[in-house]
Amino acid sequence: MELSSLLLPSILLFSFLCSALILFFKQDPPQKPTKSTILKGYPIIGNLPLFIKNYQRIVYWVAELTSTSPTGTVTVDPFVFTANPSNVEHLTRTNFHNYPKGDSISATFHDFLGRGILNVNGEDWLIQRKAASFDFNTKSLRAFVHDKVRRQTSDTLIPLLRRASRSGEVLDLQDVLERFAFGNICKLVLDRDPKCLSRGSEEGEQFYHAFLETSVLSVQRTLTPFSLMWKLGKWLNFGRERRLRKSREIVLQFVEKCVKSRREQSGGGGGSDFLSRLVADRSHSDAFIRDIMISFVIAGGDTTPSALTWFFWVLSSNTQVAEKIREEIKLVRSRHGDYESEVLTLDGLREMRYLHAAVSESMRLHPPAPLLSRECQEEDELPDGTRVGKGWTVMYSPYAMGRAEGIWGKDCGEFRPERWMEDGVFQPASPFRYSVFHAGPRMCLGKDMAYIQIKAVAASILEAFDVEVVEERGKLQLSTTMRMAGGLPVRVRERK
């Protein structure tokens, strides 16, 4: 037998034994009994067999577990999974400081995200949060985002869909929406258009693929049962880790070029947005600015296409909702005398309340970020009585919460935008029940921006086209967000 064929099993066995021992000795079990459902593990290896069996379907698994627990919380030592709104409030707001992003998850994403806002705690996080918070709530940013979306929709998206309608070609709508959103966020954050929707730039296309691959491979690290496996792979520059290193290099080089050019611009006055201000501050290194930019591209680039893809998938079996949205568009257009552009104005979009409800309802069932994790610093008790040990990982699941009867009632499995409306007015839900955008001090900064993008694109497509899903899909693939496995093949037809 060749040496190379013995190498992999030996590495796997070695890392399994090391990880089992580390897990066994590292975690402090809670001292008092707990009230949540507890899955009992085996001596020494604990719940490892359960994780190995389920880690590839962790989103579904957590939803199944929490739905059978009376408190919506299940302890699978050293993890706590919860779909309980009081616990979410505790983790994200009341006891926020005890639940930062964990060291192990930060280490897993460090190669990609470095010290960017999505991957850090403490001072590093606060600097970025403070710098960005002001801009994300300004009228000028909303107008800027709307302008970028309007241009790209009219100049590239609608013409592309028209061509597909005329040729009868089947399109992968997920791919189209991902390319659209990526171009949009790159323009906003990097001040570069990789032209990935029109495939008009070789460098942009390479950057886009490398970015996607780096995201997927980084997430696959978290799904490796033992972190030692990917660390060894990285050390040996082997398999997936070798691909990750290559794609990451391409991403870093592209973004570093953007940092340099923004730094040059800032020397000559630059812009007044938060990134221009950070770039102008010479106390921040190029690498720090690069990491910040990558975090914002991920945060804004992956989430909105996920929301839109599932939205069109849901609408394909709820055609009456699509018709109601079209009626709302007609009404808003006639109220404003707005017939100039394929994209509604910002005021028009704000008045699209039923569309707002339909988008929110779709994300309730298909949240772009289905599972969020935090690490407990000091032993604690959650509001539902669950004991959490020091060093344990607590995961809350917007996916499970969106499907919980205790939160949404008996019809929780139905897609019903009307549940969000009262007398024609949209009724928002508490972020602790509807945790799609997270909650507390680390709540999503781009929520308003996301609704502008999603509503603008959804309304423009629905007004101009009928969208027919040609192959039944609906299984999720976990990347940094919830993607649809195999894409969303559709045929579009222009409407009169």
**Closest CB to ligand HEM belongs to which residue?**
446
Instruction: For ligand HEM, give the closer residue by CB, 46 or 417.
Output: 417
Does position 446 bind ligand HEM by CB under 6 A? Answer: yes
Instruction: For ligand HEM, give the closer residue by CB, 113 or 344.
Output: 113
3-state secondary structure 242-274: HHHHHHHHHHHHHHHHHHHHHHHHHHCCCCCCH
Q: Which two tokens stand for residue 437?
A: 């955008």
Phi, psi of 42 (to 5 degrees): -85, 160
Does position 72 bind ligand HEM by CB under 6 A? Answer: no
444 annotated ligand binder: yes
Instruction: Please state, in angstroms and rounded to a whole number, the distance separating the CA atoms of residues 301 and 118.
Output: 13
Instruction: For ligand HEM, give the closer residue by CB, 30 or 446.
Output: 446
CB of 363 to ligand HEM, least distance (A): 6
3-11, 269-277, 284-292, 297-305 -> range binding ligand HEM (CB under 6 A): 297-305
Site string for ligand HEM, 410-439 (x = CB under 6 A): --------------------------xxx-
Residue 323: count of CB within 10 angstroms of its CB:
12
Could you tell me where the DSSP H helices lie in 337-471? 346-350, 353-365, 398-402, 405-408, 447-464
Site string for ligand HEM, 303-342 (x = CB under 6 A): xx--x-----------------------------------
Binding to ligand HEM (CB under 6 A) within 96-135 occurs at: 117-118, 129
CB of 444 to ligand HEM, least distance (A): 3
Instruction: Please state, in angstroms and rounded to a whole number, the distance separating the CA atoms of residues 128 and 120.
Output: 10
Q: Which residues pair with 478 in a beta bridge?
A: 482
Q: Give the H or E element holding residue 18.
A: helix 3-26
CB 375 within 8 A of CB 392: yes
Question: Of 300, 348, 389, 417, which lies in the binding site for ligand HEM, with binding defined by CB under 6 A?
Answer: 300
Instruction: For ligand HEM, give the closer residue by CB, 15 or 79.
Output: 79
Question: Of 368, 389, 402, 487, which lies in the binding site for ligand HEM, with binding defined by CB under 6 A?
Answer: 368
CB of 46 to ligand HEM, least distance (A): 26
Give the pairing type, strands 37-38 and 73-76. parallel
Which of 105, 111, 114 is CA-nearest to residue 79?
Answer: 105
Instruction: For ligand HEM, give the closer residue by CB, 113 or 492.
Output: 113
Positive or negative, the CA dihedral 289, 230, 476, 41 is negative
Chain centroid to CA 52: 24
CB 260 within 8 A of CB 253: no
205-213, 286-294, 302-310, 471-479 -> range binding ligand HEM (CB under 6 A): 302-310
Give the pairing type, strands 465-469 and 489-494. antiparallel
CA angle 365, 303, 461 (to 5 degrees): 80
Q: Give the H or E element holding residue 73.
A: strand 73-76
Question: Of 177, 190, 299, 314, which lies in the binding site for ligand HEM, with binding defined by CB under 6 A?
Answer: 299
Instruction: For ligand HEM, give the closer residue by CB, 117 or 157.
Output: 117
Instruction: For ligand HEM, give the closer residue by CB, 260 or 447.
Output: 447
Q: Which two tokens stand for residue 414?
A: 């139905």
CB of 181 to ligand HEM, least distance (A): 8
267: left (phi over 0), alpha (psi -120 to 50) or beta: alpha
Does position 382 bind ligand HEM by CB under 6 A? Answer: no
CB of 448 to ligand HEM, least distance (A): 9
CB of 178 to ligand HEM, least distance (A): 13
CB 465 within 8 A of CB 495: yes
Binding to ligand HEM (CB under 6 A) within 468-487 occurs at: none
Number of amino acids touching ligand HEM (CB under 6 A): 21
Does position 279 bind ligand HEM by CB under 6 A? Answer: no
Binding to ligand HEM (CB under 6 A) within 245-264 occurs at: none
Does position 360 bind ligand HEM by CB under 6 A? Answer: no
DSSP of 74-104, one letter per residue? EEETTEEEE--HHHHHIIIIITGGG----HH
CB of 326 to ligand HEM, least distance (A): 22
284-292, 299-307, 417-425, 482-490 -> range binding ligand HEM (CB under 6 A): 299-307
Q: Give the H or E element holding residue 387.
A: strand 387-388
Does position 445 bind ligand HEM by CB under 6 A? Answer: yes
Residue 4: count of CB within 10 angstroms of its CB:
7
Does position 296 bind ligand HEM by CB under 6 A? Answer: yes
Annotated binding site: 444
Question: Which positions lie near ligand HEM, rule CB under 6 A?
Answer: 117-118, 129, 296, 299-300, 303-304, 307, 368-369, 372, 436-438, 442, 444-446, 449-450
**Residue ranges for the binding site for heme?**
444
